Chain A
Amino acid sequence: MANPLLKIEDLHAAVQGKEILRGIDLAVGAGEVHAIMGPNGSGKSTLAGVLAGRDSYEVTAGRVTYAGQDLLEMAPEDRASAGVFLAFQYPVEIPGVGNLYFLRAALNAQRRQRGEEELDAADFLQLAKKRMKLLEMDDTLTRRAVNEGFSGGEKKRNEIFQMAMLEPKLAILDETDSGLDIDALKIVAQGVNALRDAQRAMLVITHYQRLLNYIVPDYVHVLSAGRIVKSGGKELALELEEKGYGWLEPEAAAAV
């Protein structure tokens, strides 16, 4: 890959002095869907957080280049404007702020930052209606406060709805399947698949292979103890489903 959209080199990151990521190397090209799998505690969510700019993580070494820019130097809102989107594992409830208002404020902040014209209320609403249909979202969810009182499934659906509205270049889905029943999972996957195109890259982080039946990745990487210990095609996910993560442990140990 000559010029990948996202290039992670020897990335180390720590939380409260404890090293969680211990040398990640990964390149993701435009249009590609990469799955990151791994057991609990392997560093999957840390990787997602570091890429989105969560400041509770301290990057201790390595570099991340996104669309030719040093991603780690950018504020979270600037990363968003540049096209990075994180679908949260635990979306935050913000009582008092309307769901649609928030989304329009976010979308227009991004557009301003990129020197584009802001969307007026009518155009925004039209776009929102179209995207809500895609996620089979109830009208009432968008009229309520951000995620307030949403079920687990509704929150995840709202994340993908936001992604559909913001149209990022790099979407990071952090355990989007957790807490979803099979019907909700299918709807969410359908929304994600509708957003796949040649320009958009996706990093799908998951513990279970199940999600990858619906969002079929181009590449699968296994994270263990803060490193990618194995990479392969989509069939690697099936192998993990069958054998579990245990068989990779020795390789992880050998790589130290």
Chain B
Amino acid sequence: MSAATLTAPPAPAVYTAPDAAYERAFAAIAARSGEPAALRQLRRSAFAQLQQRGFPTSKHEEYRQTNLAAVLQRSAFALPERPGAATLREAERAAQPGAAFGGPQLTFVDGHFTPELSRLKSLPAGVRAGALLAANDAGDDRLAPLGELADIGGENTMVAFNTAFFGDGAWIEIAPGAQVDAQIEIVHVATGGAGVATMAHPRHLILAGRGSRAKVVETYLSLNGAAHLTNAVTEIFVAENAELEHARLQQENTAAYHISAVHSRQAADSRLRLHALTFGGALTRNDVVTVLHGPGAEALLNGLYVAEGRQHVDNHTVLDHAEPRGASREYYRGILDGQATTAFRGRILVRPDAQHTDAVQSDKNLLLSSDCTANADPQLEIRADDVRCTHGATFGQIDEEALFYLRSRGVGAEMARHLLIFAFAAEALGRLNPSPLRTRLETELFSRWTGLTPPEGAEASGG
């Protein structure tokens, strides 16, 4: 090594600032009238943060596997206008999978709330829902909790990016004690725009009242194959003894860039089930942060990512055990083919007060090609002494013994292989409570690999 190479280069910038196109786009938003003063102030602060700190690059420890600045500066993404009637008709067809469930639905197109594609007429008892930015008759301040969990000054500047630019989002409030069986749907459709890549920053707020029980599903779709950027943020407040199941389903096209952050806070004895299901996108980065903020809270983080071709999926999770007797279960699993790359970083933080924490983390990867790459990075930070924390990561191929077992019963080699890939995914789907979403995904994945329609009983999670 020569002396020259030992000379330290100037410290690389961890972030790169947004360029002039984003500044012009923000100036248009800032000039918009009609937004409450507090929100305008929040947006200005958020954009200032973004200008000061910029987009994360791969020099940043949290973005080592995923260089967002490279994507965001290759071309500025444009904020599209509210779509016209023709686009809405197409979007309606795209939004059908959600519509088929027949429950309440909030539909967004390119970040804009589209009441004509939503179903909010007869909401179940105890549910209030609508657009975050809608003027509401009740006169309550829907925006008050905004940014409380997804902090614009936080490590992840994509949250600031979202806060500065968000068009709208869903606002869902479950009344204390309400037991809601219907699955509440949030569907986002990106139209891809014409000639220019578009971006959308959906921003959702979910409030689960004390002792309530509900299910919310967010689905992200693309109208066509054009590249676009989705940068979504969801904040979830779970009150004492409430039970909330939240699934995030990403089925955008394979040219899309999809960034998401789900920030949640759980009060005492609450139960939160968070599912991160990633199938689409050229590049996907999901951040999930949940704070077990009261004693006896339980969290399930269930992830499934399926990546092929040159898809890249990066999942970062933080389980913050702040109070005693919390239990967290984190199961992520990936199916990789082609030249796909994936990363999983799971951080479990057990604070000094969080005695008797019980945390389990596992990341399992099924590698179907020799060119794919999966990374796992468990991070345990334990500052209490009476806790149980376990973690593990596996990377493997199809189990030869299981393959032989199926073949020895008469199932052909190819079908046996496909059945085992499906089975690997079905285990993750089995962690969703039974729902129309789970049934639909089981059907879709069974067909994806076997090319067949599944008869009843094809899937079995085994409990």
Q: Using a CB–CB distance below 8 Å, which chain A residues touch chain B?
A: 52-56, 75-77, 79-81, 85-86, 88, 91-92, 94-107, 109-110, 113, 121, 143-146, 148-149, 162, 166
Count B-side interface residues using an 8 Å CB cutoff: 35
Rounded to whole angstroms, the CA-CA distance of A80 and B423 in the bound complex is: 22
Q: Is B460 an interface residue (CB 8 A)?
A: yes
Closest CB in chain B relative to A24 CB, distance in Å: 20
Rounded to whole angstroms, the CA-CA distance of A80 and B416 in the bound complex is: 14
Asked if residues B426 and A94 are in contact (CB atoms below 8 Å), the reply is no
**A residues less than 8 Å from B454 (CB atoms):** 101
Residue in chain B with minimal CB distance to A114:
B410
Given A96-B430, A144-B463, A86–B457 Cβ distance below 8 Å?
no
**B residues less than 8 Å from A75 (CB atoms):** 407, 413
**B residues less than 8 Å from A166 (CB atoms):** 409-410
Asked if residues A76 and B455 are in contact (CB atoms below 8 Å), the reply is no
Asked if residues A109 and B412 are in contact (CB atoms below 8 Å), the reply is yes
Stretch among B108-116, B307-315, B398-406 lining the A interface? B398-406
Contacts A/B (CB < 8 Å), 12 sampled? A53-B407, A76-B407, A76-B408, A77-B408, A80-B408, A95-B460, A96-B423, A96-B424, A96-B426, A97-B420, A107-B410, A166-B410
Asked if residues A96 and B408 are in contact (CB atoms below 8 Å), the reply is no
Q: Is B427 an interface residue (CB 8 A)?
A: yes
Asked if residues B408 and A53 are in contact (CB atoms below 8 Å), the reply is yes
Point out which of A53, A75, A98 has the most chain B C-beta atoms below 10 A from its C-beta. A98
Rounded to whole angstroms, the CA-CA distance of A113 and B411 in the bound complex is: 10
**A residues less than 8 Å from B236 (CB atoms):** none
A-B pairs with CB below 8 Å: how many?
115
**A residues less than 8 Å from B21 (CB atoms):** none
Closest CB in chain B relative to A11 CB, distance in Å: 19
Asked if residues A109 and B410 are in contact (CB atoms below 8 Å), the reply is yes
**B residues less than 8 Å from A79 (CB atoms):** 408
Residue in chain A with minimal CB distance to B429:
A96
Closest CB in chain B relative to A119 CB, distance in Å: 11
**B residues less than 8 Å from A162 (CB atoms):** 409
Q: Is B462 an interface residue (CB 8 A)?
A: yes
Given A94-B402, A96-B427, A105-B419, A144–B462 Cβ distance below 8 Å?
yes
Residue in chain B with minimal CB distance to A55:
B404
Rounded to whole angstroms, the CA-CA distance of A113 and B362 in the bound complex is: 41
Asked if residues A106 and B463 are in contact (CB atoms below 8 Å), the reply is no
Residue in chain A with minimal CB distance to B401:
A92
**A residues less than 8 Å from B96 (CB atoms):** none
Asked if residues A81 and B460 are in contact (CB atoms below 8 Å), the reply is no
Rounded to whole angstroms, the CA-CA distance of A81 and B407 in the bound complex is: 10
Closest CB in chain B relative to A241 CB, distance in Å: 31
Asked if residues B423 and A88 are in contact (CB atoms below 8 Å), the reply is no
Asked if residues B463 and A149 are in contact (CB atoms below 8 Å), the reply is yes
Q: A109-B412, A145-B461 given. 20 additional CB < 8 A pairs?
A: A53-B407, A77-B407, A77-B411, A80-B408, A85-B408, A92-B402, A92-B405, A97-B419, A97-B422, A98-B457, A98-B458, A101-B454, A101-B455, A101-B457, A102-B411, A105-B419, A107-B410, A109-B410, A144-B460, A149-B463
Asked if residues A80 and B409 are in contact (CB atoms below 8 Å), the reply is yes
Asked if residues A97 and B410 are in contact (CB atoms below 8 Å), the reply is no
Closest CB in chain A relative to B171 CB, distance in Å: 37
Asked if residues A96 and B422 are in contact (CB atoms below 8 Å), the reply is yes
Rounded to whole angstroms, the CA-CA distance of A80 and B413 in the bound complex is: 12
Given A101-B458, A102-B406, A121-B455, A95–B412 Cβ distance below 8 Å?
no
Point out which of B400, B409, B413 has the most chain A C-beta atoms below 10 A from its C-beta. B409
B411's partner among A55, A99, A105, A148 (CB-CB below 8 A) is A105
Q: Is B269 an interface residue (CB 8 A)?
A: no
Asked if residues B423 and A94 are in contact (CB atoms below 8 Å), the reply is yes
**A residues less than 8 Å from B412 (CB atoms):** 77, 109
Q: Is B168 an interface residue (CB 8 A)?
A: no
